[in-house]
Structure 1
Amino acid sequence: MMAFLKKEWMELIRMGRVWMLLLIFILFGIMNPAMAKLTPWMMEMMSDSLADAGFLLTDVKIDAMSSWTQFYKNIPIGLIIYVLMCSGIFTTEYQRGTLIPVVTKGLSRGKILLAKAVMLFGMWTVLYTLCYGITYGYNAYFWDNSIAEHLWFGAVCYWGFGLWVIAVLILFSAICDSNTQVLLGTGAIALGVYFIGMFPQLQDYLPTKLMDGMTLLQGGAKPEDYYVSLAVAVGMAVLFLVMSCICFHKKQL
Structure 2
Amino acid sequence: MGNLCDVVVINHAFHLLTCPDATIRNIMANALRDMIKKQIGRAPSNQDIATFLSGSLDGEFGRDGGDIASLWSRARNAMHRLGKHIGCRWKWCEEHQELGILAPQIRSNDYTIVTLSTRGILERTLKATIHSLYVETLKRKPHQGKAFELTSKWDASNHFLARGDFTRFADWRFIHCARFNCILLNGVVHQRNRDKRCRKCDYSNKTLPHVLCSCKPHSRAWQLRHNAFRYRLVKAIAPCLREVAVNCTIPGTDSQLRPDIVVTN
Higher relative contact order (CA 8 A, sep 6+): 1
Determine which structure has the larger helix proportion and give its number. 1
TM range (shorter): under 0.3
Larger radius of gyration: 2
TM (norm. structure 1) is 0.24
Determine which structure has the larger strand proportion and give its number. 2
